[in-house]
Structure 1
């Protein structure tokens, strides 16, 4: 028999040490942006900033720390599911590598192409800050760090917001679409620091990913898709910003 009270507390604690806390921070951040002297459209949101530009070796250590530490909540979520013999039910395995890869690539294309249009439209409408995908500089480790950062985002968000949260909400008896919508709202909320375009785009992404998970029961293609999207964004910007004037 499920202890619903304990399960609700577990969900709040997992979110509270991970993306739920990020959502609260982003809500505070968007209030800050909206009440700032400069309009939202003239502000900048840097996704992968440098920390100590004058000491690249120390900056690398910081970057690796910022990549590794957010994975702990994802590991916690997997541990809690494993304790209840659930992890295989979320498709977090390597049983179908080719299928996960092509499905992930297809999802990335489905989300990524309209997403570029949404980013442009949001900035034109003045409801989004200017997004700078990276500002690490031209070090030997910059591209590898950006790739690792992209994979970390994919693992954390899809394991916690899709695999873990949707599984736990189903155990609590939630219907499919209210659970998916709740996950999508949280996903959009922790991107509010980018502006309302970030919220809308990630909310839609959360709906698509949640529906896919409910249909297939596999989180691995979502990790692949999310990682591809962020790799293209981060690394593409790093490689092209000095050659395409509209990116700088």
Structure 2
């Protein structure tokens, strides 16, 4: 008989796998077109739910999944703020954006604290994960914190900044999903020879390179600056 924990884990894995597929379609499709928009919306839903389930698993099984709690919060805040970023000028959106930014900042502080505490332990691991793993997630959350500050406290927000923040957050969220599937826990589904070959790192590298490319394409374009509401 399946336990609630097992059901949650299965749902987390299935939705995470779906998010990887949809993220690949959205990232590869021509931006702004129907395929990109449709796949992007489904990616947000699947990634968001998978992230929340991951956070729940991390809280319930903290002895082995604690880092998943933080990764889940990070993934959920990334896709949510990514959607809000492109709508930042709409009425009431900035209030929600600020709330998500606070949650991300708290998670970043907790990740740094967990990483620092892990360094004080004899084996340098906290609940089975190395200090470097916590610091890596902290670095991603900190990058987003910088963008949050710019979006919240900036006197003016250009269209290209708005879109760049959307791209950044979605791509980092996609990176987390792909990492979980290919080089994280999901790697166990692949033969040992494939794991040892280094091929499973290629999806993450591809996402980073495409993210940098699209950020460059977006930020180099001259776009009108729109005052914040």
So what's the TM-score if we normalise by structure 1? 0.30
So what's the TM-score if we normalise by structure 2? 0.32
> Could you say which structure has the greater relative contact order, defined with CA pairs below 8 angstroms and 6 or more residues apart?
1
More helix by share: 2
